[in-house]
Structure 1
Amino acid sequence: GNKARKFLALHRRLFDSDSSTSAPRVIVSHGGVQSNALRALSALVRTYNERGGSCRLLYYCKKIPSWLRERPVGTFAAALEQGVEFRPLANAEYAKHFGGDAGSPSLPQTLMPQEEDVLFIPQGGACGSAEEGVALLAEELLTQLPSLLPPAAAATIVLPGGTGSTALFLARHMQRRKDVEVVVVPVVGDWAYMARQMSRLDHLTGGHGVFPSIAVPSTPPSVFGEPTQGNFQLW
């Protein structure tokens, strides 16, 4: 999915011999233990190490349920097998470090590993390095759109978003086509949470002030991944 785009810059840093930036010795991230970002990061680090590299992946998370620790499944099981070093925090401590209105743009010093060459990747890959891969996606879309649309037709590109970082960078690099609108649908927090996340990331990456439209659902948001009667009926 979009993690292949978001982590393109990291992939190049790890595997391209002509990269101007050396590979990190430690990658630190945080989020849910079934996160698709965790799955992608752990696979990248494992492959890098299998090819002779040396990199650790530290992952801060909330307290892991006892049933999951005893019987790992899904991404958590794969990450354990791939050597991820989990650092569970009490929920209050996790919220203190990572639960701000717009997330944490940098790793708190109290959680910083002692090694040199530490790379911090915020939850979901919502950081400036994600722009490189999304910019490539925009180029692909700009190339493909003329063959997909009638002449002079406008287009709306709709994508789901957690932090909105993919949509933010896509809107930034699609603005050459004034007849193309990028719309993001919040699937984790509400529209206000996403707006804060995108505003923070825009500020950290040059303050371009170009944002996608946010689709505001007509019904209250549900907890991410939680079954609801409406979703069941839709299915």
Structure 2
Amino acid sequence: MKLANTPITEHQFNNLSFYLKRDDQLHPQFSGNKARKFMALLEGEYPHVRTLIGYGSPQANSLYSMAALAHLKGWQLEFYVDHIPHWLAQKPIGNYQAALALGAKIIAVGESNLHPSQYIETVRQPDESCLFVPEGGRCQLAEYGVSQLGKEIATWVESQPKQNFVVALPSGTGTTALYLHKYLQQHDIPVITCACVGGSAYLTQQFTQLSERSHPQILELSSKHHFGKLYQQDYQIWQQLRHQTGVEFDLLYDPVMWRCLNHWLTEHLDVKLIYIHQGGLLGNASMLPRYQRKYGE
């Protein structure tokens, strides 16, 4: 199965035009930046693998992406979490529900007093029939699929009238932004990002741990932003994006990047933005009701 060449569409937001790389349309089950990061696993041959092992949050986008990957490859997914909230266990929703429907085993290890990664290493002890993926896909195997994304962007840019294109996307671990920067810098296409989990120093540390010296530019908000916390400005810009573009974006990551871009674009009117859609829309099933309860429709 070859998943590539998603469309690039043009939109208007706050009286500025931009292009949108529609990676939310890669595959009904396997889309967004996680699909790009796991592409090497999808296309590679792993005859001895029976079990895919990962860890993170029970509502993480990576959980659903790994469940979809395992389903497509005929593997069993074991996904380790600290705990599963009682309300989520009682009424599964979003990524958690979709992963369960694809046969994922989601295993809470909080009572062991071990971090899920430690539990996997010391208790589960994967053997040669297992394939372990770090949280969020933060590893060098991600470079293969992200480079394919970079190639698609570079090819499209070559077909356009010459302009000062810049690529933007938010970062969790920063893996996609880093490898996209690595590929696109040879085509003189800058990549900008922002830190959604931790601050810029933490994101730079994540970049460095992947042994790359050249990093994308990191934009920052004027005030500290806590991952997963509800912010009225995030909710408002998400609503504005949906109203003005007709496209639904992720509620967790995309609003942070667009808040950074709102200011940055006013100071860089000579550039043409290509925004990478992150996928992750199943996560909105749990985030949106939280926003609606706090701020209304």
Q: Which bin holds the TM-score, normalised by the shorter protein? A: 0.7 to 0.9
Answer whether contact 2:55 2:117 (CA < 8 A) is retained.
no
Structure 1: which amino acid aligns with 2:82?
A: K
* Number of the residue aligned with 1:160: 170
* Number of the residue aligned with 1:28: 53
- Going from structure 1 to structure 2, the CA distance change for 1:12 and 1:96 (only over 3 Å counts) comes to closer
Q: Which stretch shows the higher mean deviation, 72-81 or 161-170?
A: 72-81
Matches within 5 A, 1:46-195: 46-49=71-74, 55-90=75-110, 93-94=114-115, 97=118, 108-113=121-126, 115-150=127-162, 153-178=163-188, 180-195=189-204
- Going from structure 1 to structure 2, the CA distance change for 1:64 and 1:139 (only over 3 Å counts) comes to same
Q: Distance in 2 between matches of 1:157 and 1:168?
A: 12
Tell me how far 1:149 sits from its aligned partner. 4.5
SS of residue matched to 2:170: strand
| Root-mean-square deviation (Å) | 2.2
Q: Distance in 2 between matches of 1:123 and 1:198?
A: 14
Answer whether contact 2:80 2:116 (CA < 8 A) is retained.
no
Does residue 1:12 correspond to 2:30, yes or no? no
Tell me how far 1:23 sits from its aligned partner. 5.2
SS of residue matched to 2:190: strand
Answer whether contact 1:170 1:182 (CA < 8 A) is retained.
yes
Q: Which stretch shows the higher mean deviation, 115-124 or 131-140?
A: 115-124
TM-score, normalization by structure 1: 0.79
Structure 2: which amino acid aligns with 1:128?
A: Q
Tell me how far 1:144 sits from its aligned partner. 1.2
* Number of the residue aligned with 1:102: none
Q: Distance in 2 between matches of 1:210 and 1:22?
A: 35
Unaligned runs of 5+ in 2: 1-31, 240-297
Tell me how far 1:196 sits from its aligned partner. 1.3
Answer whether contact 1:39 1:75 (CA < 8 A) is retained.
yes
Number of equivalent positions? 206
* Number of the residue aligned with 1:104: none
Tell me how far 1:45 sits from its aligned partner. 1.3
